[in-house]
Structure 1
Amino acid sequence: MQSRTVRLVASTVAALTAAGLLAACSGGDSGGSTTPSSAPSSGSSGGDGVDPALKVPAPLPTGDLLNNPCAVLSASQLTTIGLKTEGVPDDRTPKACSWVSSTLAQNSVGIGALPQNAAGISDIYDGKSSAAYFTPTTVDGYPGVYTDKADLRSSGTCQLWVGVTDQLAVAVGTTIGVGSNKSNPCPIAEKVATAMIEHLKGAA
């Protein structure tokens, strides 16, 4: 399943990959996570004028996201979510990390940042026209959007983008092969993204 392991964003410039399958996420049934696949082609918004609605409430530390993404979730968070605590790093540029479900090897979740998009989440919004689905959201107060070039949500794949600074967007992708969350994977991506933000806040 490693080949399928979370493919985290590919913008027009690069593809980041993260693999991991997620397990049961809250008491009982198992869920999985995918890998962020490719982001819609982004037309840069130029970094100067960030839409006020997309500004982050407080920039989060980006050191681990860019250099050691396997460190953006704590062991206790991973255990609570239902993932193995050992992340699988992808050291290509940009770096990414994936975690496999602690109970279901067919499920995984991946996280990776996209530093090429200098306007962060605004660049992801600029790619709306090429997206198969596009659902704005917020995660723990931070601007985000569920979006991807192909809509594979009914097959267990959901991609969530979150702006952690006004210059950096992070993709959280799920690949859920089995379990009740396969037909509704996006809440798993949100759960993982929320845990990531909480952990990064603690590192601020």
Structure 2
Amino acid sequence: MVRVSRLGGVVGVLALTSLIAACSGATGGTPEPSPSSPSSTGPAVPKIEAPLPASLIQGDPCAALTSAQVDGLFTNTPTRDQAAKDTGAAKSCGWHDIDRGSLIGIQFVYAWKHGLADVYATQGRGFFKVLAPVQGYPVVAYGPTDDRSSGACGVAVGIADNAAFEADVQFANSAVGKGDPCDDARKVADLAITTLKASA
């Protein structure tokens, strides 16, 4: 498994649960090799009942969210990366509100050859929390550390047995401590699934 870089980002807390309200620049990170088989401890990798084409994560992550979806997540008009960046493990794209210190990001992780199983292989070696699925696709919040207290979270979403992507969120400075950024990252992932399904 490869640990992809965590994007820095946004999220203002609105009604219902926290909804994203603004976004900011990406933070660096180095992919780290990990075991390619799931851990024997902890929850088992869920089966994906209606897989999407794995080729979807070979596309442009900047197209994973529509303009209307992004505008609905931000209070201010965000700045989008001019082009996807290739980290050597994933293609990533971010939407930022620099003034508020916030961001959302999508990473198409081509290094996860076993899909979400590669993320499950990290259990016991950092932050790992199974979240409710989005549109039937399994979601896991994970990372080398639990960064929720600083308003950051990344979630991995399995779309096929050999394909998964990541959605990242960083709360706006004023929103840190007012909600769970993993909930917001899951919402971003849900929007991305809607867009990916439409293009499948």
Tell me which interval the TM-score lies in, with the shorter structure as reference length. Answer: 0.7 to 0.9
Say whether residues 1:179 and 2:167 are aligned partners.
no
In the superposition, the TM-score normalised over structure 2's length comes to 0.76
Conservation of the 8 A alpha-carbon contact between 1:107 and 1:178: yes
The CA distance in 2 between the partners of 1:182 and 1:33, in whole Å, is: 16
CA contact 2:12–2:171 (8 Å) conserved in 1: no
d(CA) in 2 for partners of 1:29, 1:71: 20
Q: CA RMSD in A?
A: 3.3
Q: Within 2, Cα distance between the matches of 1:53 and 1:30?
A: 29
Structure 1: gaps spanning 5 or more residues:
1-9
**Where does 1:9-158 land on structure 2 (aligned, <5 Å)?**
11=2, 15-16=4-5, 18=7, 21-24=9-12, 26=14, 31=21, 42-45=34-37, 54-63=46-55, 65-82=57-74, 84=77, 87-88=80-81, 89-93=84-88, 94-101=90-97, 104-131=99-126, 133-137=127-131, 138-158=133-153
Relative to structure 1, is the Cα distance of residues 33 and 124 closer, same or farther in structure 2, using a 3 angstrom cutoff?
A: farther
Distance 1:185 1:80 in 2: 17
How much does 1:26 deviate?
4.3
What is the SS of the residue equivalent to 2:173? coil
Shifted more, 76-85 versus 34-43: the winner is: 34-43
Q: Unpaired runs of 5+ in structure 2?
A: none
Equivalent-residue separation in structure 2 for 1:149 and 1:96 (angstroms): 19
Classify the secondary structure of the residue corresponding to 1:179.
helix
AA matched with 1:11: V
Report how far residue 179 of structure 1 moved.
2.6
Q: Percent identical across equivalent pairs?
A: 26
- State the shift of 1:86 in Å: 5.0
Residue in 1 that maps onto 2:186: 190
- Report the CA distance shift for 1:61/1:181 in structure 2 as closer, same or farther (over 3 A): farther
Residue 63 of structure 1 deviates from its aligned partner by 4.5
2-structure distance, mates of 1:60, 1:159: 21
The number of residues matched between the two structures is: 186
In 2, Cα distance between equivalents of 1:79 and 1:58: 29
**Residues in 1 aligned to 2:134 and 2:30: alpha-carbon distance in whole angstroms:** 20
- Classify the secondary structure of the residue corresponding to 2:119: helix
